Structure 1
Amino acid sequence: MTNEELQQLIMKISENVFNKPFVHDAYFNARLITTGGRYMLQTHHIQINPKSLECYGMEELEGIIRHELCHYHLHIEGKGYKHRDRDFRELLKMTNSPRFCANLESTKKKRRRIQHVYGCISCGQLYRRKIRINTTKYRCGKCSGQLSKLEL
């Protein structure tokens, strides 16, 4: 789906569900990591995470659009547009919009494994590192002994 198609979809949903026009810009933003969409207060633009469409399909995308349009229309009208406001929660219920989007796979933290283990030849102190170090340049912090890479 292109940005132009997204713009048309949002304009159509705004007219059909809210009976109000959407007159600002809407586009995909791949830099959104933890959220499905974002409404910009200053510019009134709506940004959508393209991964939400890829991972969960058109139904999830339309839910995110309805949610962001709730922010949009309430903010334009000068009503409570924040998640905690009563106006916002009531409009979510009236338009059958989701309060939260589905968790994106990219939000799950990937645990980095320790790849390199070094040991002091003199005292046996162990050092776990993510990045390889030069054993001729560095010494043991405990006894100043020579370090050697240990195989796992």
Structure 2
Amino acid sequence: MTDEELKELIESVSLNAFGKPFIHMARFNKRLRTTGGRYMLTNHSIEINPLVLEVHGTEELVGVIKHELCHYHLHIEGRGYRHRDADFKSLLKHTSSPRFCRPLSKGNKKLHSMYVYECLSCKLLYNRRRRMDVRKYRCGKCAGQIVAIQAGK
């Protein structure tokens, strides 16, 4: 989907769900990491994370668009557009918009440590994400020598 197609989708969702036109810019922004989209207060544009479409599909994309349009229309009208405002919460409910975006991670974040070290004396294991210089450090439990048993992947 291109930015032009995204803008057309946002315009149609705005007319169908809110009965009001969307007349500003809309685009995909690959740099968004933790959010599905954002409404820019300064220029009234909407940016959408392309991962929403890739990971969750069109239905979730429409939900994120509705959420951002709630910010857009309330801000234009001078009403409470923030997440904590009653106007915002009631408009979300009225338009069946989601309050939060579903998680966007594709599982590319490693949950386990990359480096494993062991004390030669007491056999205590140290799990680390960053490499450490074993010549500079000793075991915190028994002051024994530490050796690397699993190098980074």
TM range, normalised to the smaller chain? 0.7 to 0.9
Say whether the 8 Å CA contact 1:39–1:46 is kept in structure 2: yes
AA aligned opposite 1:55: V
Counterpart mapping for 1:1-152 below 5 A? 1-106=1-106, 110-117=110-117, 119=119, 128=126, 129-132=128-131, 138-141=135-138, 148-150=147-149
Percent sequence identity over aligned pairs: 52
- Residues 150, 11 of structure 1: alpha-carbon distance in 2 compared, 3 angstrom cutoff: closer
Structure 1: 5+ residue stretches without partners: none
Structure 2: 5+ residue stretches without partners: none
Counterpart-to-counterpart distance in 1, 2:69 and 2:145: 63
Quote how far apart the aligned CAs of 1:126 are. 6.2
Counterpart-to-counterpart distance in 2, 1:18 and 1:79: 15
AA aligned opposite 1:50: P
Quote how far apart the aligned CAs of 1:21 are. 1.4
- Residues 150, 48 of structure 1: alpha-carbon distance in 2 compared, 3 angstrom cutoff: closer
Counterpart-to-counterpart distance in 1, 2:145 and 2:90: 68
Larger radius of gyration: 1
Q: For each residue in 1:3-43, what CA deviation from the matched residue of structure 2 results, as whole angstroms up to 9, or x when unmatched?
A: 11001111111122212111111111112122111111111
Counterpart-to-counterpart distance in 2, 1:133 and 1:108: 24
Quote how far apart the aligned CAs of 1:59 are. 0.8
Count of matched residue positions in the alignment of Structure 1 and Structure 2: 148
TM-score (ref. length: structure 1): 0.78
Deviates more, 1:23-32 or 1:65-74: 23-32
TM-score (ref. length: structure 2): 0.78
Say whether the 8 Å CA contact 2:115–2:150 is kept in structure 1: no
Quote how far apart the aligned CAs of 1:89 are. 1.5
